[in-house]
Amino acid sequence: MLGASCAMSGTDRPDADAASNRSGSLLRFDLENFKRKAFGKRAGVFGAAILISLLGLAGTATAQSYPSRTISLVVPYPPGGGVDAMARIVADRLSVALKHSVIVDNRAGAGGNIGTRAVAKADPDGHTLLLGHTGTISINPSLYANAGYDPRKDFTPIGLIASMPVALIAHPSFPAKSMAEVVALLKQQPGKFNIGTSAIGTGGYLTAEYFKSAAGVDITIVPYRGTGPLMNDLIGGHIPFAFGVLPPAMGNIQAGTLRAIAVTGPKRFSLLPDVPTATESGLPGFDSVLHYGLLAPPGTPRPIVDRLNKELRALVETDVVKQRIQTEGGDSLTSSPDEYVQDIDLEERKWSALIKKLNLKVE
């Protein structure tokens, strides 16, 4: 009986093994089915999470390896002007912070449009940057029939650097001593005087147009290709007065070879405490302040933008740089990339409204 039982067990084993195999197959099938259902539903979520993680790692690697060569800081004006001076302040300190050379690349022409367009089309790798300025970023897109770029779409803002008032500067022989006296003189002798400015489309030029409209005077605006030539003619007495930024004129103002009649900001400039604002000296509400900032081409990776913003803010907030900016005629001003985006929008709206009101257009 025992043998029979063993024989029967031996006979029955294949069926039992088969059942066991079928059971195992069913178990494996159900498990695979479960995995397909569970992961299938969440594949998009898991895939996105993995992709984000990989992109984060790539971004970190990008930031860590940046910069890998010399950085070109494009100034869309000739050497010697306010934008050029601001760029050199930033380049010197940024070179130290990034441990790579940052060279100033002057690409002048078309009121600043040529150099600005070049950066808009450059590779978005953080090795080509733009010293942004009210003239090119907030004025030119509305002033020129085809500036060739959109300030809101064609750049990646990094951060603000400084604000700077425009000043009404005169040769010592110019008889008017205050803004009120200037306006009175120009109204007494309409069409007689020329006023110098930097190139068409710059802050100095548009401030002169703003002045003509606000004061109701008849003067001829003479735009120069650069601030350097403008200052030379002003010092030489070839032009009686001008609207311009303070950096190239500060030395001559302090030496008495030029005279600052008024600054166009909402407050007096600390290095010229005796020079009143335009509002204080006879032209209420007249306000024209320029902003400077750092921008990159569109599509520049955010880790690079954040790295540059961090270094820019750190250097602008140092006493040494604050003093250099002040010496050049401005006040230091910092921001996040997103705050600079908002500033560009507000400034462009402000200046484009004035341009439309004055019906100004440059082909």
Give, for 291, the enclosing helix (H) or strand (E): strand 289-296
- Tokens standing for 304? 């690079």
- The strand pairing partners of 144, in sequence order, are 362
Average pLDDT, the chain: 85
Which amino acid, residue 305? V
Query: What single string gives the DSSP state of each residue in 161-186?
Result: EEEEEEEEEE-TT----SHHHHHHHH
Question: For residue 198, is pLDDT > 60?
Answer: yes
For the stretch 288-331, pLDDT in tens is 989 999 999 999 999 999 999 999 999 999 999 999 998 888 88
CA–CA separation, 95 and 228 (whole Å) = 26
SS3 338: helix
SS3 294: strand
CA–CA separation, 73 and 63 (whole Å) = 19
For the stretch 15-65, pLDDT in tens is 444 444 444 443 343 444 444 444 454 545 555 555 555 555 545 556 679
Torsion sign over Cα 25, 28, 29, 30: positive
The pTM of the full predicted model, rounded to 2 decimals, is: 0.71
CB atoms within 10 A of CB 283: 21
Angle between helices 203-215 and 337-358 (to 10 degrees): 50
